[in-house]
Structure 1
């Protein structure tokens, strides 16, 4: 797991797969290429570079397996975003390593607290967050795909 440019070939492929999975689950049908392109267009990923954030890619051997980002919301809070593990690599403890590196990157950017929002139907993600010490918090933002919020002191 290491910081990597959000637009590297591996990071771009992982971001597309992430959006495809969450959109397809939400719509209860496969997302089209055009829908994925629209969802990624103007999504603010360029903010996931220091000093406003960081993006990371995790590898299993030489294969890109996971990604995630942190976005500084203010001087002390970072938001966990775009956390994704390719299905073929799930269940191998890589998600925990991804969480550790993202929290470390957030601390290096000055964050003392990590927050995130997600949907109720993303059970695997919610389970991961709780397993890593995140607890439900009041909403800190709003949007169409935000149904539950979590936070953790770093």
Structure 2
């Protein structure tokens, strides 16, 4: 399990810095993975519909969008922990030799603001490269502005569409081993 220490030595209220977030592979069917995937889908559906899903709607979405292929030769799932608590996840689905697709990227609101999303992307990239992937790609919806900003700041760039999903508004990709480039918004 790898760890990532947040920046700075103290929290906004002056307490000592929190323990580092840690990352580890998980089976998507495990209780920890199911718990965080449920929170991921609740967040995604709530943003799209403007309200949290009912339990039946959540169950339907998780059935329609299975995560069972995020293991073995077809992919992997990483969970993010803050101590014993699972606070995020991210997966890579192998779509063709050497190419993976990021999916299920989520950091719980209780863990946001600690650069956990950046650390999670680095962990997914390192694991993907270790497994022989040379390119990671992803889709993102228009309403997921923060996610798109995260991906672009991590070096993901627009590419030609590779999916006909109704939830794919932007198509991004990154060659593994490429250093992130400073975004236009951050150049002085």
Shorter-chain TM-score range: over 0.9
Question: Unpaired segments of 5 or more residues in structure 2?
Answer: 1-22, 177-188
| 1:83 to 2:105 alignment | yes
**Number of residue pairs matched by the alignment:** 154
2:84 and 2:52 map into 1 onto residues whose CA distance is 28
2:49 aligned to which of 13, 24, 27: 27
| 1:135 to 2:176 alignment | no
Q: Is the 1:51–1:109 Cα contact (8 Å) retained in structure 2?
A: no
**Structure 1 residues 52-131: aligned runs within 5 Å:** 52-131=74-153
Instruction: Give CA-to-partner distance per residue, 1:23-80, whole Å, 9 cap, x none.
Output: 1111112211111100001423111112110001011122111101001110021000
CA RMSD of aligned residues (A): 1.0
2:96 and 2:131 map into 1 onto residues whose CA distance is 11
- Residues 42 and 27 (structure 1 numbering): CA distance in 2 closer, same or farther, change over 3 Å? closer
Task: Give TM-score scaled by structure 2 length.
Answer: 0.79
Give 1 or 2 for the bigger CA radius of gyration.
Answer: 2
**Structure 1 residues 34-53: aligned runs within 5 Å:** 34-53=56-75
Structure 1 stretches (4+) deviating beyond 4 angstroms? none
Higher relative contact order (CA 8 A, sep 6+): 1
Which has a greater percent of helix?
A: 1
Instruction: Give CA-to-partner distance per residue, 1:106-144, whole Å, 9 cap, x none.
Output: 112221000000101101111110111101111111112
Question: Unpaired segments of 5 or more residues in structure 1?
Answer: none
- Name the SS for the 1:139 alignment partner: coil
Q: Is the 1:50–1:109 Cα contact (8 Å) retained in structure 2?
A: no
2:129 and 2:59 map into 1 onto residues whose CA distance is 32
Task: Give TM-score scaled by structure 1 length.
Answer: 0.96
Q: Is the 1:53–1:109 Cα contact (8 Å) retained in structure 2?
A: no
